[in-house]
């Protein structure tokens, strides 16, 4: 197991006292430090780190053995769930699998730096490129209030994946006691998705408006075709979830962690969907990290924690 100290604005100190607006949260200057760790079942919590500006620390705990690589397989009993979650791929034609302007080409091996991971094919290397490195990146994570089973929310999540954005998700499942009332307080109605961008002070409802705003602000202004077909987009976003229609929509009693959980995921993955359904039902705020792995400068914590991409929050 490796551990890493990461810092968040102290947005969530208790369920009783969530921030009332995104601005409140991001205006604070102090940073709370939390420790994330890959969690073998026997792992015990580590002590929190101290100085706010200290660089992240990584050290395997005593006795940690890296997992032995295994052939890809779906866990026993999970096939139906994964197949159901994978339905989104044909219905949405893979929207949310690839970032803006993604393309691949085969190049000679010397065109890829030796320390950069790349698939090999017929003696050539696969070079991946995108337009994301030409796009503006938000300094602070965008905040989105939504729930997994909502087709309008799915559209916005797909755009987030296309733009490879870090987003702080506040789950709002039906009967969720914490963030639904907060949306009513901030925006005046309980309608989802609701987006707050602490970088620009913009807050808005309406999935299509949010998608356009994100494309204009953090993309090149273009909205993928599958997100710009009006009713067809919404219907296919609903069909994408039809096999798991009850998942990720209703609240399960839970304990709110003092800090958001961190997750590295993207909308096109059926495995990520299943994990997010659970996060939403438990109403657990989670910071979703971008995954653009072929751009070292853009990967942030992903590379730092790469041996443990599923690393979850461990409270201090
Ligand atoms: N036109 C809106 C429709 C959003 C909408 O109807 N969302 C539903 C959830 S799928 C909602 O907020 N329902 C009220 C509720 O869940 O309480 C949009 O595109 O964002």
pLDDT score at 114: 83
pLDDT of residue 34: 36
Give, using CA atoms, the residue closest to atom 7 of ligand 1: 192
The rounded distance, in Å, linking the Cα atoms of 148 and 238 is 11
Q: What's the pLDDT at 40?
A: 39
> pLDDT tens for residues 156-173?
999 999 999 999 999 999
**pLDDT of amino acid 62:** 87
Q: Look at residue 272 and tell me whether its pLDDT is greater than 50.
A: yes
* CA 99 from centre of chain: 14
Q: Can you tell me which atom of ligand 1 is nearest the CA of 192?
A: 12
pLDDT attached to residue 52: 59
Give the pLDDT score at 122. 85
Does 10 have pLDDT greater than 70?
A: no
Identify which has the larger pLDDT, 120 or 191: 191
For residue 194, the CA-to-ligand 1 centroid distance in Å is: 9
Q: Is the pLDDT of residue 7 over 90?
A: no
Average pLDDT over residues 42-57: 53
pLDDT at 69: 87
Among protein residues, the one whose CA lies closest to atom 14 of ligand 1: 191
Whether the pLDDT of residue 45 is over 70: the answer is no
Please give the radius of gyration of the chain, using alpha carbons only, rounded to the nearest integer: 20
- How far is residue 216's CA from residue 57's CA, in Å, rounded to a whole number? 36
**Ligand 1 atom with minimal separation from the 180 CA:** 17
Which band of pLDDT confidence, cut at 50, 70 and 90, is reported for residue 304? very low
Region 107-117 average pLDDT: 87
How many CB atoms within 10 Å of residue 43?
A: 14
Binding-site residues, ligand 1, Cβ < 6 A: 150, 152, 190-193, 206-208
Confidence of residue 8 (pLDDT cuts 50, 70, 90): very low
Closest Cα to atom 11 of ligand 1: 191
Query: Domain limits of the chain?
Result: 1-100+135-316, 101-132
**C-alpha–C-alpha distance, residues 304 and 288, integer Å:** 15
Most trustworthy range by pLDDT among 21-30, 231-240, 241-250: 231-240
| 306 CA to centre of own chain | 15
Q: How far apart are CA 259 and CA 39, in angstroms?
A: 17
What pTM, to 2 d.p., does this model score? 0.74
| pLDDT at residue 294, as a whole number | 40
pLDDT of residue 35 exceeding 60? no
Question: Residue 193 C-alpha to ligand 1 middle, in angstroms?
Answer: 7
Distance 4 CA to ligand 1 centre (A): 37
The residue nearest atom 18 of ligand 1, judged by CA position, is 206
What is the CATH architecture of 1-100+135-316? Answer: 3-Layer(aba) Sandwich (3.40)
**Strand ranges (DSSP E) for 56-193?**
103-107, 120-121, 124-129, 142-146, 167-171
Looking at the chain, the whole-number percentage of residues with pLDDT higher than 70 is: 76
Residue 253 has pLDDT above 90, yes or no: yes
Q: Which atom belonging to ligand 1 lies closest to the Cα atom of 149? A: 10
Q: Flag whether pLDDT at 32 surpasses 50.
A: no
Mean pLDDT value across the chain: 79
Residue bearing the bigger pLDDT, 59 or 49: 59
Place of tokens 């609903």: 238
């Amino acid at each position: 197991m490796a551990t890493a100290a990461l810092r968040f604005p102290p947005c969530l100190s208790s369920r009783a006292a969530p921030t009332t607006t995104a601005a409140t949260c991001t205006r604070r200057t102090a940073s709370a430090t939390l420790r994330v760790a890959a969690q073998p079942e026997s792992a015990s919590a580590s002590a929190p780190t101290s100085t706010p500006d200290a660089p992240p620390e990584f050290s395997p705990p005593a006795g940690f053995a890296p997992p032995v690589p295994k052939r890809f397989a779906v866990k026993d009993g999970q096939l139906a769930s994964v197949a159901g979650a994978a339905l989104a791929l044909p219905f949405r034609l893979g929207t949310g699998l690839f970032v803006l302007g993604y393309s691949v080409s085969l190049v000679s091996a010397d065109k890829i730096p030796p320390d950069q991971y790349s698939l090999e094919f017929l003696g050539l290397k696969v070079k991946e490129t995108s337009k994301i490195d030409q796009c503006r990146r938000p300094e602070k994570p965008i905040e989105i209030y939504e729930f997994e089973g909502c087709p309008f929310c799915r559209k916005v999540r797909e755009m987030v994946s296309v733009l490879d954005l870090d987003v702080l998700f506040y789950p709002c499942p039906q009967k969720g006691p914490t963030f639904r009332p907060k949306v009513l307080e901030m925006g005046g109605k309980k309608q989802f998705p609701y987006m707050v961008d602490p970088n620009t002070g913009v807050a808005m409802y309406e999935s299509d408006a949010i998608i356009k705003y994100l494309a204009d602000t953090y993309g090149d202004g273009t909205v993928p075709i599958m997100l710009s077909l009006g009713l067809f987009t919404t219907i296919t976003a609903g069909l994408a979830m039809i096999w798991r229609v009850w998942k990720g929509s209703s609240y399960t009693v839970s304990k709110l962690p003092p800090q958001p959980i961190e997750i590295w995921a993207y909308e096109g993955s059926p495995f990520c969907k299943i994990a997010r359904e659970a996060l939403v039902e438990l109403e657990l705020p989670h910071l979703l990290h971008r995954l653009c792995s072929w751009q070292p400068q853009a990967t942030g914590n992903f590379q730092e924690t790469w041996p443990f991409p599923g690393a979850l929050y461990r409270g201090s």
